[in-house]
Amino acid sequence: MTERLNFREFESSNVAPHRREGVLRAIATLGEQLKPRLKQITVEGDTVTLRNVVGSFALPNGDVVEVAPKVVTDDWTTAVIHLLTPDTRLAVAGSQRSRSSPRRDDLSAALALEFARRLERAIRREGPLQVYERKHHVSRRWSGRLDVTRWMRGVGLDPTRFPMSRDELSVGNDFTRGMSVVAGLLSRSATGGELASRLRRLQASVVVGEPLPSFVNPSVARRRLPTQWAAYEPAWAIAAPLLRNQSVVGDPGHASGLEVAVEPWPLLETLLERTLRAVSDGDSPLRLEPKRTHPLLVNVATGATEQSVEPDGLLRWSNGRVAATFEAKYSSVASPSREHVFQALTTAAALRSPLAVLVYPSSMDAKLFDVAGFDDRRVRLAAVGLELFAYRRGTGDAQRAKQLNRLLAHAGAI
């Protein structure tokens, strides 16, 4: 019977010697899929500490490790799902699930439920998604564009067989096939027969009139939905990261469920970007600048930039002056660390920003510091927690925008 091992990020847990090797191998596999920025495991004696990963993943012997966020909250899975984008990297693996009762901290089951909701809403609003697909066929009747090269190869044997292609508006496209495959995969992770049946119905509804697909071209996970099908974007934000895991999608095998893990640091950056977008919307005199690098060290002899900085967020006034720079730090520190302070202030100096803001995933109250050493310019450093794992899309953006606006006003930035 499958055993489930429970961890919390950044907290050490005793692990039996015969399991430690399995955890190390599983984390190495996770690293290949997530490509994390930070080390995700530390082993000291009999203890194992996991960090920068939440969700669940399978061990080589079939057991499953479940990792809860370091920030304790009742329903963190909903926040993770609301922060997913088509570019989010997920680590997905098949497993033999032994748990059928719903739990609020089961990321795989939460994904299944949310995907069903989003896909149902899109189908109800827009009907099946149709896009133009190029169809290739051979016929004796002219019904498309002739492939002259292929026809010339066989013209001596049968000049009336025409290899042709034509563009057709079709439900049987890569996007619908991908969402159908994902619905089938997630039905195995659904808690309860009702949700599983619902996902199996969606598996057929999204490709109505077409046979159920068992395979989809994995390159579709890198493509953007056509703009006229914006109603499907929320469902695609879940489907695309899953479709990039070819080991599961291309060869589902006989697993009865999926285990899903995610690196939370990029989720904090997504949260910061959405919050800053809300700050700069409407009549605000501030505007959010797209992420890019800015020169820090320039070689005097050659004029070449040898080191750059890239803030996680940058607000400018309409006249071009920088209002504030932002750095997202997935850390549970109670006060800004020396390393974080130096990075934030270096970026602020490179951009001549009067305010550098460190953003953390906790509910930490805002802290404001005066910075010495910038000549006659007043420069301030702020640290604030945006409650990553309590986020809800829409209302969460507006709430956190008000929080940052209060901080900017208190710091004298606005």
pLDDT digits 0-9 by tens, 18-40? 888 999 999 998 888 888 988 89
In angstroms, the CA 195 to CA 204 distance is 15
Q: What angle do CA 67, 251, 28 make, to 5 degrees?
A: 40
Single out the residue of 47, 52, 45 nearest to residue 10, CA to CA: 52
pLDDT for the residue 61: 86
Is 80 exceeded by the pLDDT of residue 196? yes
**Average pLDDT of 304-326?**
94
233-269 per-position pLDDT tens digit:
999 999 888 888 766 665 544 455 678 899 999 999 9
Is 50 exceeded by the pLDDT of residue 56? yes
Cross-strand bridge partners of residue 295: 308
Are residues 248 and 92 in contact, defined by beta-carbon separation less than 8 angstroms?
yes
Are residues 175 and 129 in contact, defined by beta-carbon separation less than 8 angstroms?
yes
**pLDDT band of 135, cuts 50, 70, 90:** low
More confident residue, 192 or 321: 321
Please give the C-alpha separations between residue 292 and each of 89, 102, 169, 244, 310, in angstroms, as whole numbers: 21, 42, 39, 26, 6
| Range with top average pLDDT, 175-179, 273-277, 364-368 | 273-277
73-120 per-position pLDDT tens digit:
878 999 999 999 888 888 887 766 545 555 667 888 888 889 999 999
Tell me whether strands 145-146 and 294-298 are parallel, antiparallel or unpaired.
unpaired
pLDDT for the residue 169: 63
More confident residue, 331 or 164: 331
SS3 of residue 45 by DSSP: coil
Q: CB under 8 Å to 119, separation ≥6 — which residues?
A: 179, 183, 202, 206, 232, 235
Domains of the chain: 4-123+177-262 (no CATH), 131-170 (no CATH), 266-410 (3.40.1350)
Percent of the chain beyond pLDDT 90? 46
In angstroms, the CA 55 to CA 69 distance is 8
**Average pLDDT of 155-167?**
76
**pLDDT band of 276, cuts 50, 70, 90:** very high
In angstroms, the CA 338 to CA 277 distance is 29
**Average pLDDT of 205-221?**
84
Single out the residue of 241, 249, 223 nearest to residue 131, CA to CA: 223
**pLDDT band of 336, cuts 50, 70, 90:** confident
Single out the residue of 245, 206, 177, 228 nearest to residue 118, CA to CA: 206
pLDDT for the residue 170: 66
In angstroms, the CA 240 to CA 118 distance is 14
Is 50 exceeded by the pLDDT of residue 310? yes
Tell me whether strands 355-360 and 379-385 are parallel, antiparallel or unpaired.
parallel
Phi, psi (rounded to 5 degrees) for 48 = -125, 135
**pLDDT band of 398, cuts 50, 70, 90:** very high
Write down the residue that tokens 């570019």 correspond to: 87
pLDDT for the residue 253: 47
Q: CB under 8 Å to 60, separation ≥6 — which residues?
A: 22, 25, 26
pTM of the predicted model over 0.85: no
In angstroms, the CA 114 to CA 373 distance is 50
In angstroms, the CA 86 to CA 233 distance is 9
Tell me whether strands 47-50 and 41-44 are parallel, antiparallel or unpaired.
antiparallel
351-380 per-position pLDDT tens digit:
999 999 999 999 888 999 999 887 777 899
User: In what side-by-side order are the strands of the sheet with 322-328?
Assistant: 286-288, 313-317, 322-328, 355-360, 379-385, 367-371
pLDDT for the residue 109: 85
Single out the residue of 226, 58, 198 nearest to residue 117, CA to CA: 198
